Amino acid sequence: MAIIESIPNISEGRRADVIDALADAVASTPGVRLLDRSSDASHNRTVFTLAGPPAAVREATLTLYARAIDAIDLRQHHGEHPRLGAVDVVPFVPIEGVTMADCVTLAREVAAEVGARFSLPVYLYEEAATDPARRNLEDIRRGEFEGLAEKMARPGWAPDAGPAVPHPRAGATVIGARMPLIAYNINLASDRLDVAKRIAAAVRHSSGGLRYVKALGVMLDDRRIVQVSMNLTNHEKTPLPRVFEFVKREAARYGVGILESQIVGLVPQAALLAAAEYYLQIEGFTPTLVLENRLRDGG
Amino acid sequence: MAIIESIPNISEGRRADVIDALADAVASTPGVRLLDRSSDASHNRTVFTLAGPPAAVREATLTLYARAIDAIDLRQHHGEHPRLGAVDVVPFVPIEGVTMADCVTLAREVAAEVGARFSLPVYLYEEAATDPARRNLEDIRRGEFEGLAEKMARPGWAPDAGPAVPHPRAGATVIGARMPLIAYNINLASDRLDVAKRIAAAVRHSSGGLRYVKALGVMLDDRRIVQVSMNLTNHEKTPLPRVFEFVKREAARYGVGILESQIVGLVPQAALLAAAEYYLQIEGFTPTLVLENRLRDGG
């Protein structure tokens, strides 16, 4: 069965009635399941996690745009989190029976439709980007809603779809395709923050570590232990067990052991099956060895 | 979703038309999927693997009994594998959203129905057994079809359902409930059969090892390596990663490494997730962390 996940980020985290109405609109789309919703009042932002077959996810996304553009006025919006639109960012993520190319196609179709139907400028990002300068969300979002008109007028920043002027209330939006993101923390049997920070620096891509790892060393004050807090942005290319072993090895340099690890939110089945395959050295592993997957193949 | 697996063993492994007709009868039961079929001519025996919601599995099983009793005459049956009936043994296995108790209930319901509808004596085994002497299939099957009349007349061997005389053509049948069985082999980077045999003896329950492991040491002639060939009969109580680590540790005593492991046939998702949980030391792990499982919960 073909399943795509989408994680729309909406610039509204305070008005419960508005958020409820948006959630209902998504959840009531046939074929779509709303897996999670999370609002942050200080960010004034809500993140929905939904999934379903591509056509259903497309429908739910367009409904969400229509409702959010009606309900949210960025001219009145304040919050700690950077944003450039009412529907700030919408990534599509391949989960099962679909490729990244399918998600890129969906992102571009939805972008064209959103641009035309709502007169909303759209930037394509990550795997759906049309220009390397637009792969990173932060680069697109720099200047935020308030700087949009000026940014769009600059060479190289015409939107990928929709008009080259901001929508008066809704600003612009960013649509794209990416691998599922895994929020993965490793807790150390230690209260030494310096050790957690050094391990984070060793494992993260930006300072010389693994290609698809972002990491910070943090103190968990209530437990008096430290944590290597990570985002894994491509578990196929930088697998969970390799990250775990890397951190374990680095911790051992300081005589520190691994207390436990934590998965925050949801994790694709394939990421955990890869750990079983890795440690048990399973030869010729395929997901079709899993009885439940066989049951669901094709029906 | 509630899913029970059933693995009926039929005393016919040669007549393709008969086997095809039985497979079709199972596969065409609404809600049931026939996951696998495997016939052995020298054993003169076929094993079907089917799965679905309890009511659908019950229906498919009763249909299979009706067709097999019509098509198979044990008085004409010869094969290497011990057997006491046309439908020799039918285990029910909990896969998802059901407990072992649900499988025991299903086994007893089907036993009563089979006994009454087909005048076929039924013994209940494993978790569904009514008597500790009947837990092991081998004990029930001892004496086979040819010794049934004599066995049934003995004290303590009246069947659990159906008449206390063998069915003239179909003999008797054994129905029960058990955990999924995982066929799991570990290949050693060695051609020393004595090492494989010693490891098998160490790990298997019958000679002092782990409670739910059966094991043999064998030579893979074509590859010039040896293998510890195992059946894991309860992966919840004796988990896959613990078996792997046990074998790895024992092999190290002889300076032998693990080349790879192999899963033969199908494996429940939970058995592999347990390996990820074990090695990654995941705290608070539940199957609902897996995105695909969340998608399927209740719909």
Per-residue pLDDT at B292: 87
Report CB contact under 8 Å: A273, B276.
yes
For residue A299, being part of any structural domain is answered with: no
Domain-embedded: residue B10: yes
| Domain identity same for A134 and A59 | yes
Query: Please, are residues A87 and A64 in contact by the beta-carbon 8 Å criterion?
Result: yes
Q: Which residue of A has its CA nearest to B188?
A: A281
pTM for the predicted model, two decimal places: 0.82
User: In angstroms, how far is CA B36 from the centroid of its own chain?
Assistant: 13
Quick check: B269 and A96 CB within 8 A?
A: no
Q: In A57-86, which positions are buried (b, 16+ CB within 10 angstroms) versus exposed (e)?
A: bbbbbbbbbebbbebbebeebebeeebbbb
Give CA separation, A61 vs A3, A68, A110, A172, in Å. 14, 10, 8, 15
**pLDDT score at B284:** 92
Over residues A234-240, mean pLDDT: 95
Q: Among the three residues A177, A209, A233, which one is the final residue of a domain in this structure?
A: A177
- A42-88, pLDDT tens digit by residue? 989 999 999 999 999 999 999 999 999 999 999 999 988 899 999 99
CB contact, 8 Å: A183 with chain B?
no
- What's the domain count of chain A? 2
For residues A10-15, average pLDDT: 96
What residues of B are labeled active site?
81
Q: Are residues A238 and A271 in the same domain?
A: yes
Identify whether residues A165 and A213 lie together within a single domain: no
Average pLDDT over residues B197-226: 95
Q: Which residue has the higher pLDDT, B282 or B265?
A: B282
| Best CA proximity match to B262, nearest among A13, A286, A225, A256 | A286
Residue B280 within any structural domain of the chain: yes
Residues of chain A with pLDDT > 70: what percent?
A: 99
Average pLDDT of the segment spanning A249-254: 98
pLDDT of amino acid A298:
44
Same domain, B152 and B15: yes
ipTM: 0.80
Q: Which two tokens stand for residue A146?
A: 């308030």
* Residue A153 is assigned to a structural domain of this protein: yes
- CB atoms inside a 10 Å sphere around CB B134: 21
pLDDT digits (tens, 9 = 90+) for B182-206: 999 999 999 999 999 999 999 999 9
Pick among B35, B186, B280 to test the A interface (most A CBs inside 10 A):
B280
In this predicted structure, what is the pLDDT of residue B298?
Answer: 44
Q: b/e per residue, B194-227, with b = 16+ CB within 10 A?
A: ebbbbbbbbbbeeeebbebbbbebeeeeeeebbb
Give the C-alpha separation, B13 to B42, whole Å: 8
Contact criterion met (CB < 8 Å) for A291 and B263? no
Give the domain-ending residue among A148, A177, A206. A177
Question: Is B183 in CB contact (< 8 Å) with chain A?
Answer: no
Among A280, A283, A296, beta carbon nearest to B275: A280
For the cut 70, the answer to whether the pLDDT of residue A243 exceeds it is: yes
| Whole-angstrom distance, CA of residue B87 vs CA of residue B115 | 13
Residues B144 and B159 in one domain: yes
A275 interfacial to chain B (CB closer than 8 Å): yes
Mutate to test the interface with A, among B230, B258, B285, B291 (most CBs of A within 10 A): B291
The predicted pLDDT at position B117 comes to 98
One domain, residues A15 and A140: yes
For B64, residues 6+ apart whose C-beta sits below 8 A from its C-beta are B8, B10, B22, B25, B26, B48, B87
Q: Which amino acid is at B196?
A: A
Q: Does residue A297 sit within a domain? A: no
Q: Are B127 and B108 in contact (CB under 8 A)?
A: no
Q: What is the pLDDT of residue B108?
A: 98
B44-72 residues labelled b (16+ CB within 10 A) or e (exposed): bbbbbbbbbbbebbbbbbbbbbebbbebb
| Residues B50 and B147 placed together within one structural domain of the fold | yes
Nearest-neighbour CA in chain B from A256: distance (Å): 15
* pLDDT on residue B18: 97
Please indicate whether, in this complex, the C-beta atoms of B263 and A95 are within 8 angstroms of each other: no
pLDDT tens digits for range B4-57: 999 999 999 999 999 999 999 999 999 999 998 989 899 899 999 999 999 999
User: What per-residue confidence (pLDDT) applies to B295?
Assistant: 80
Give me the residue from B187, B282, B295 closest to A261, CB to CB: B282
What's the whole-number mean pLDDT along residues A105-132? Answer: 97
Look at chain B and count its residues. 299
Q: What is the pLDDT of residue B96?
A: 85
CATH number at residue A14: 3.30.990.10
Q: Please check whether residue B87 lies inside any domain of the structure.
A: yes
pLDDT in the model for residue B297: 59
Q: Do A266 and B291 touch (CB under 8 A)?
A: yes
pLDDT in tens, B158-176: 999 999 999 999 999 999 9
CB within 8 Å: B272 and A268 = no
Residues B33 and B160 in one domain: yes
- Rounded to 10 degrees, the C-alpha dihedral B31/B35/B40/B41 comes to 50
- Tell me whether A258 touches chain B (CB under 8 Å): yes
Query: If you average pLDDT over residues A257-279, what whole number do you get?
Result: 94
Q: Assess whether A165 and A187 both reside in one domain.
A: no
Q: Are A121 and A69 in contact (CB under 8 A)?
A: no
d(CA B229, CA B227): 6
pLDDT, residue A293, reads 86
Place of tokens 């010794």: B147
Instruction: Inspect the interface and report whether the beta carbons of B5 and A51 lie closer than 8 Å.
Output: no
Q: What is the CATH number of the domain that holds A243?
A: 3.30.70.670
Whether B20 and B146 share a structural domain: yes
Do A222 and A194 lie in one domain? The reply is yes
Residues 6 or more apart in contact with residue A194 via CB below 8 angstroms: none
Single out the residue in B150, B177, B204 at which a domain terminates. B177
What are the chain B neighbours of A286 within 8 Å (beta carbons)?
none
Contacts of A180 in chain B (CB under 8 A): 291
Mapped onto helix, strand or coil, the DSSP state of residue B211 is coil
Is the Cα dihedral A55, A56, A57, A63 positive or negative? Answer: positive
pLDDT computed for residue A97 by the predictor: 87
Q: Is residue B96 part of a domain?
A: yes
Residue B46, classed as helix, strand or coil, is: strand
Q: Mind listing the pLDDT tens digit for each residue in B289-299?
A: 998 888 875 43
**Does residue A161 belong to any structural domain of this protein?**
yes
- Residues A150-208: pLDDT tens digits? 999 999 999 999 999 999 999 999 999 999 999 999 999 999 999 999 999 999 999 99
Which pLDDT score, from 0 to 100, does residue B277 have?
97
Sheet with strand B182-188: strands edge to edge: B213-220, B225-232, B182-188, B258-264
Cα–Cα dist B261/B189, whole Å: 11
Residues B208 and B245 in one domain: yes
Residue B276: both structure tokens together: 């990820």
Cβ–Cβ under 8 Å, residues A131 and A123: no
What three-state secondary structure class fits B155?
Answer: coil
- Residue range(s) defining the domain that contains residue B51: 3-177
Residue B266 pLDDT greater than 50, yes or no: yes
Which of A182, A280, A281, A293 to probe by mutation at the B interface, max B CB count within 10 Å? A280
